[in-house]
Amino acid sequence: MATVPVTVTVNGTERTTEVEPRTLLVYFLRDQLGLTGTHIGCQTGQCGACTVQLDGEAVKSCMVLTVQAEGHAVTTIEGLAPAGTLHPVQAAFWEEHGLQCGYCTPGMVLTAEALLRDDPDPDDHTIRHAIEGNLCRCTGYQSVVQSVRVAATRMAEGAQPEPLLRRS
């Protein structure tokens, strides 16, 4: 059975390649493009570790075929802010301890960023509804909700990506 050509814009760069139709988007990103910030947990659409943005909307990349992304734009955690900088959502997770082991974090951050574009001032209920599809074994979610709230405030004040090195 034949491979098919696909062109997907990943983190702003157009990528053209041949894939087998059965190639899941998460494997295209990790194995072909080396973007291993997108994690794999369950592979059955439950955990949310593989969350990326497809045309700006959070989706589970283990439930999407690469051919379904043909002609569309994908954002992974690597592309959320310019290299060497942290997006305000990432900075807020850092400061508010929105992560512990970090396994869920790329997916959590991408879900949160998509929420804030849709609703820049979400209440706690809205934040919790938005992150329902991202499982976290560590934080108990409270600090994640707090991180998203802080990110919303910062972004309303005009926060921009900031250099990572300033923080270490």
Partner 1 sequence: MRRFDYASPATIDDALALLAGGDGAVRPLAGGTDLLTLMKADIATPERLIDIKRLAELDDAIALDADGLSIGALATLDDLEDDPLVRQLAPALAEAAAAAASPQLRNMATIGGNLLQRPRCWYFRSSLVHCWLKGGTECQARDGENALHALFDQSPCVAVHPSDLATALVALDASVRLRGPAGERSLSLGEFFAPPTDDRRTENVLAPDELILSVRIPPPADNARGTYLKAMDRKVWAFALVGVAATVARDGDRIGAARIVLGGVAQTPWRAREAEDLLVGQRPDADLFARAADAALAGAAPLADNGYKIPLARTLIRRALAAVTADGAPPA
Site string for partner 1, 71-110 (x = CB under 8 A): ----------------------------------------
* Dihedral sign, Cα of residue 111, residue 115, residue 117, residue 121: negative
Residue type, 6: V
C-alpha–C-alpha distance, residues 123 and 145, integer Å: 10
Site string for ligand FES, 66-105 (x = CB under 6 A): ---------------------------------xxxxxxx
Sheet holding 4-10, edge to edge: 13-19, 4-10, 73-75, 51-54, 57-60
C-alpha–C-alpha distance, residues 106 and 39, integer Å: 8
Binding of ligand FAD by 46 (CB under 6 A): yes
What is the distance of C-alpha 21 from the center of its chain?
Answer: 23
* Sites for ligand FES among residues 46-65 (CB under 6 A): 46-50, 60, 62
Write the DSSP assignment of 91-136 as a string of letters: HHHHHTT--SS-SSHHHHHHHHHHHHHH-SS--HHHHHHHTTT---
CB nearer to ligand FAD: pick between 67 and 81: 67
Applying CB under 8 A, the site for partner 1 has a residue count of 30
Binding of ligand FAD by 140 (CB under 6 A): no
Least Å distance, CB 28 to ligand FAD, is 19
CB nearer to partner 1: pick between 1 and 83: 1
C-alpha–C-alpha distance, residues 157 and 168, integer Å: 24
Site string for partner 1, 128-157 (x = CB under 8 A): -xxxxx------------------------
Residues found near ligand FES in the complex (CB under 6 A): 40-43, 45-50, 60, 62, 99-105, 136-139
